[in-house]
Amino acid sequence: MSKEEIPKEKLLWMYETMVRIRKSEEEASKHFAQGKIPGFVHLYIGEEAVAVGAMANLRDEDVITSTHRGHGHFIAKGGDLKELWAELYGKRTGTCKGKGGSMHIADLRKGELGANGIVGGGIPHAVGAALAFKLSKSDRVSIAFFGDGASNQQNFHEGLNLASVWKLPVIFLCENNQYQISLPYSKQQAIRSVAERGSAYGVPGVEVDGQDVLAVYEVVKEAVERARRGEGPTLIEAKTYRYMGHFEGDPQVYRKKEEVEWWRKNKDPIEIFKKRLLDMGIAKESDLKNIEAKVDAEVKEAVKFAEESPYPDPKELYDDVFSTPTKGVLVWEWNF
């Protein structure tokens, strides 16, 4: 890890953002259990350091593509917590006006090109955005987030190859949380790490401890700088762990409770970082408590906003299928 000093402000942003993701996700778990959040919900608890360490390197105009487990990416990229919660509830005030829900959380205004219900589906979009950045001679970059399961999917391989042969400013960030739903990593692929796959495409592959936000920050920093200099893509594998099931309601028959407990106790990204901040003298216990209290209030407010917001009008069903109106029938309705 480079010893270059990270500004205090940035360190505290990292802490606050990790706490914001954690608290919001814990609240989402409760609300799902109470039947208030419809649909499928995949939570990011345990993986916070990856999104935050990565996003700490991005500018607003840089873009990311996300996964079905996308709330953390959305929050870390600057998405509005109220709009996230309203979307989880299916409300009109949600970031997708209630059309997307948990699996399609997005905010293109913030460079969040979308969570994706299809494993690996977003990877080529990050490649294409990077192509656009290269063509327009800007130094913007993109990050494709995806999981260990997605690294077996065609879009990972095709995307990595395109980015490499075209030398595009994109970072492939694999969040290896060690399970593809129920299938452990060891039964998905015969190689030791996803990062090794980079060599097949001439892309540097780096492994990092995904529970250590500063370690993630440093490897992504190097990859982002490389990309901005026009030196091409990097594949990063962050070894991480999800505390919750694949989705809320997952009976988790494929792993032992003790395993989850071990990670919570020994590898919790927020606890690890908290200790670092205190040891480094960046913050006092009371400063961190204040941050936590502030985030608690924010989450509470976001939930309230979601609950009090109106549902979309049934007529909104027909809106936003297309951008450009045309003559002729575009969105079909049978008229009786």
Partner 1 sequence: MGERMITFAEALNEALDQMMAKDEKVIVMGEDVGVYGGVFGVTKGLIEKYGPERVRDTPIAESGFIGAGIGAAAVGYRPVVELMFIDFLGVAFDQIYNQAAKMRYMFGGRAKIPLVLRTVAGAGFSAAAQHSQSLHSIFVHVPGLKVVMPSTPYDAKGLLISSIKDDDPVIFIEHKGLYGIKGPVPKDEYEVPLGVADVKRKGKDVTIVATAAMVHKSLRVAEKLAKEGVDIEVVDPRSLKPLDLDTILGSIKKTGRLVVVDEGYPRCGFATDIAAIAASMAFRDLKAPVKLVTPPDTPVPFSPALEPEWIPSENDIEKAVRKTVED
- Of the pair 140, 274, the CB lying nearest partner 1 is at 140
Bridge-based pairing state of the strands 183-184 and 179-180: antiparallel
The residue from 54, 126, 143, 213 that contacts partner 1 (CB under 8 A) is 126
For residues 173 and 213, which CB has a smaller minimum distance to partner 1 in the complex?
173
Binding residue for partner 1, selected from 6, 36, 40, 161, defined by CB under 8 A: 161
Vertex 40: Cα angle to 155 and 250 (nearest 5): 95
Cβ–Cβ under 8 Å, residues 120 and 137? no
Residue 106 binds partner 1, judged by CB under 8 A: yes
Torsion on CA atoms 98, 104, 106, 112, rounded to nearest 10? 180
Kindly state the smallest distance separating residue 162's Cβ from partner 1, in Å. Answer: 5
Which range, of 14-22, 46-54, 119-127, 244-252, touches partner 1 by CB under 8 A? Answer: 119-127
The b/e string for 173-190 (b: 16+ C-beta within 10 A; e otherwise) is bbbbbbbbeeeebeebbe
State the burial class of residue 320 (Cβ atoms within 10 Å of its Cβ: 0-12, 13-18, 19+).
Answer: exposed
Give CA–CA dist 174/50, Å, rounded. 9
- Report the DSSP beta bridge partners of residue 183: 180
For partner 1, the binding residue among 79, 94, 149, 232 (CB under 8 A) is 94
Answer for which of 98, 169, 198, 233 binds partner 1 (CB under 8 A) is 98
If DSSP codes are grouped into helix, strand and coil, which group holds residue 138?
coil
Assess 108 for contact with partner 1 (CB under 8 A). yes
Q: How far is the CB of 22 from partner 1 (least distance, A)?
A: 25
- Secondary structure, 3-state, 60-81: CCCEEECCCCCHHHHHHCCCCH
Q: Report how far residue 196's alpha carbon sits from residue 100's, in angstroms, rounded to the nearest whole number.
A: 35
Q: What are phi and psi of 5, to 5 degrees?
A: -75, 130
Q: Contact region for partner 1 (CB under 8 A) — 190-198, 209-217, 283-291, 323-331?
A: 323-331
Q: Which of 21, 56, 84, 127 binds partner 1 (CB under 8 A)?
A: 127
Among 50-58, 127-135, 177-185, 228-236, the segment contacting partner 1 (CB under 8 A): 127-135
Q: Minimum distance from CB of 109 to partner 1 (Å)?
A: 7
- Single residue of 1, 33, 118, 293 touching partner 1 by CB under 8 A: 118
Token pair 């970031």 in the structure block, residue: 95
Task: Output the CA–CA distances (angstroms, integers) from residue 96 to 80, 113, 151, in the order listed.
Answer: 12, 12, 28
What is the nearest approach in angstroms of partner 1 to the Cβ of residue 327? Answer: 4
Residue 131, interface with partner 1 (CB under 8 A)? yes
320 near partner 1, rule: CB under 8 A: yes
Q: Which of 1, 165, 280, 297 binds partner 1 (CB under 8 A)?
A: 165
The answer to whether residue 51 forms part of the interface with partner 1 (CB under 8 A) is no
Q: Measured between alpha carbons, how far is residue 91 from residues 25, 58, 178, 222, 307 in Å?
A: 18, 30, 34, 40, 8
Give yes or no for residue 135 binding partner 1 (CB under 8 A). Answer: yes
The residues that touch partner 1, with contacts defined as CB under 8 A, are 63, 65, 94-100, 104, 106-109, 113-114, 116-118, 121, 123-133, 135, 142, 154-155, 158-159, 161-162, 165-166, 319-324, 326-331, 334-335
